Copies of this chain bind each other. A is one copy, B any other.
Amino acid sequence: MPRKDTKIKIKEVALKLFNRDGFVNVRLQHISDVCGLSLGNIGYHFRTKNDILYALFSDFVEEQKLLLSEFRVLPLFEDFNRFLNSNFELQKRYVFFYKDALDLTRLYENISKQYREHLTWQELQLQGMLVFNEARGALDSKGNQDFVQKMSSLLVWASESWISRQAVTGAEELDKSSYLEMVWFLLKPYFTDTGIEEFENRVIIHEL
């Protein structure tokens, strides 16, 4: 197998095991068993389990950045909803990180730093979305000076903490419609008539 493919395979197997068993419960030995690679071979690509974690975390951040960049040019409601859909799939793909986010950011200083920067970056993207939608008359903050800053922070938090909320409240499955409904519920009171119409006609929460 070419070197690059081996690296990708190790990451994929590790991600699967982390998601299933939780990061702390997986040992390099498990990863090596499932990959069918020797520990030495794995060590050639990743010195420690933490190095795999860092690589996965970087992939995750890059993927989420890509999603946000795609939607930021003209973020109509339907674009925001499409972003939320993809973001939901991404969270599910890296579910171990969301279940263990607090632990991982507490244990690993560089993950913590990178995650904070990433949260701030997300807030900035969403601020652009809010300003744009107020300017085009789909949202109305009714003169609330803090609206853009507070709403962006709330949207990011609500979205990022959704999986751990599901875990604490004991929801069995990660249901996309509930996630979308929750995020839109935060924005709805600020819809103008244009916003309401656009939301009702263009935003699909419950797929048929």
> Is the pair A169, B116 in contact by a Cβ cutoff of 8 Å?
yes
A99-B102, A102-B102, A103-B103 known; A112 and B170 CB under 8 Å? yes
* CB < 8 Å neighbour of A182 from B103, B115, B116, B154: B154
Q: Does A194 contact B (CB under 8 A)?
A: no
Indicate if A150 sits at the interface (CB-CB under 8 A): yes
Give the residues from 135 to 189 in chain A that come closer than 8 angstroms, CB to CB, to chain B: 142, 144, 146, 150, 154, 157-158, 161, 164-165, 167-170, 181-182, 185-186, 188-189
Closest to A99 in B: B102
Interface size class of A (residues with CB under 8 A): 20 to 34
Which residues from chain B contact A103 at a C-beta distance below 8 Å?
Answer: 103
How many copies of the chain does the oligomer comprise?
2
Q: Is A131 an interface residue (CB 8 A)?
A: no
A169 / chain B contacts, CB cutoff of 8 Å: 116, 119
27 A-B pairs in the complex with CB atoms less than 8 angstroms apart: A99-B102, A101-B168, A102-B102, A102-B164, A102-B167, A102-B168, A103-B103, A105-B167, A106-B167, A112-B170, A115-B168, A116-B168, A116-B169, A119-B168, A119-B169, A146-B185, A150-B181, A150-B182, A154-B182, A154-B185, A154-B186, A157-B165, A161-B161, A161-B164, A161-B165, A186-B186, A189-B189
Known contacts A101-B168, A150-B185, A189-B189; 14 additional CB pairs below 8 A are A99-B102, A102-B167, A105-B167, A106-B167, A112-B170, A115-B168, A116-B168, A119-B169, A150-B181, A154-B182, A157-B161, A157-B165, A161-B161, A161-B164
